[in-house]
Amino acid sequence: MATTSAAQRREQAKRDYDAFLEGCPTRELLSRLTDKWVALVIPALAGGPLRHGELARRIAGVSQKMLTQTLRTLERDGLVTRTVTLSVPVCVDYALTPLGHELFPVMVAIKNWAETHMDRVFEARTQFDARP
């Protein structure tokens, strides 16, 4: 029988899927990945598992509604695991899956890009706003 490696299958997927096309499922996945909270949660979890409250403190200003919602969809998409330890009070840990670890470099790259180029964007905005 023919054997196809994981690398070959990934290559195939890249040919079959195209986010430029309307109706391609990757368009929906792309819109989930391009999310402010996702770009903060994935890097936050890269250092190791964190609890709900720890995440909330790390990502200052996030409401627990958005945090829970984000973690749920990340869990469903196989990027994050949710582990419940029964105790009083109950303890819930979130951690990146292998797939989540593969996404991490991409997410941290956006975050870093914003932090690194903030000043140049500010300059551009000032110039743009000052023109006739």
Partner DNA sequence: CAGTATCCCAACGGATACTG
Partner DNA sequence: CAGTATCCGTTGGGATACTG
Stretch near DNA under the rule CB under 7 A, chosen from 3-11, 40-48, 63-71, 121-129? 63-71
- Residue 103 is a binding residue for a copy of itself (CB under 8 A): yes
Q: Which does 101 bind (CB under 5 to 8 A by kind): DNA, a copy of itself, none?
A: none
- Stated as kind and residue range, the H or E segment containing 2 is none
Q: Does 31 bind a copy of itself (CB under 8 A)?
A: yes
Backbone angles phi, psi at 50, to 5 degrees: -135, 150
Per-residue interface string for the shown chain with a copy of itself, residues 58-77, x marking contact by CB under 8 A: xxxx-------------xxx
Instruction: Please tell me the distance from the alpha carbon of residue 119 to that of residue 2, in angstroms, as a whole number.
Output: 53
Sign of CA dihedral 5, 7, 11, 14: positive
Whether 95 and 65 have beta carbons less than 8 Å apart is answered as no
56 vs 63: CA distance, rounded Å: 8
Six-digit token pair at 21?
């096309």
Report the distance separating Cα 97 and Cα 118, nearest Å: 31
Binding at 128: pick from a copy of itself, DNA, none (beta carbon under 5-8 Å per type)? a copy of itself
User: Which residues are at the interface with DNA (CB under 7 A)?
Assistant: 31, 35-37, 51-54, 56, 61-66, 68, 71-72, 82, 84, 89-92
Which residues here bind a copy of itself, judged by CB under 8 A?
9-10, 13-14, 17-23, 25-27, 29-31, 33-36, 38-40, 44, 58-61, 75-79, 99, 102-103, 105-106, 109-125, 127-129
